[in-house]
Amino acid sequence: MQVGDIIKNDLRVTDFACRFGGDEFSAIMPASSINDSFSIAKRIQSSVAKLASTLHSDIKEHLSVSFGLAAYEAHAPISVADFFRQADLELYHAKKMGKNQISCVRVRDIVTTALSAEEKAALAGNITNNK
């Protein structure tokens, strides 16, 4: 409940968050870079740490928050399911690395498919024809 409030407070008005089942939350941040989402994740993390510091020591050590970040590129033809799977994989990775971690999607797969057919054709074009 309190963590939910923190998430709501620390996100921007343009962001959208919802509970994703169990102790997982999901946030969509339109028109943002991975760096933007990273700083927001850091902000939420420090708010949660502040909340933890007010709690009894038995509970305190169990309260941490991990993040998996993924970026959806407008040019990248991946499905919504694949996009969420990427974020989920990153979250899994973050949790594996310990408490309070932020993990970020590797952009390689997204980007290699992000080259348009025109760009690929231009790259493969006869190099000698280009002045």
Cα separation of the two ends of the chain: 63
Per-residue contact track with other proteins, 54 to 73, x per CB under 8 A?
A: -----------------x-x
Closer to other proteins by CB, 18 or 92: give it. 92
Residue 89: HSE in the Cβ half-sphere, 13 Å Cα cutoff: 11
Q: Does 127 bind other proteins (CB under 8 A)?
A: yes
Q: Does 111 bind other proteins (CB under 8 A)?
A: yes
| CB-count burial class (<10 Å; 0-12, 13-18, 19+) for 89 | middle
Q: Does 101 bind other proteins (CB under 8 A)?
A: yes
Closer to other proteins by CB, 2 or 118: give it. 118
Q: Does 30 bind other proteins (CB under 8 A)?
A: no
The answer for residues whose C-beta is within 8 angstroms of residue 45's C-beta and 6 or more apart is: 65, 67, 100, 102
Q: Which of 53, 54, 79, 112 binds other proteins (CB under 8 A)?
A: 112
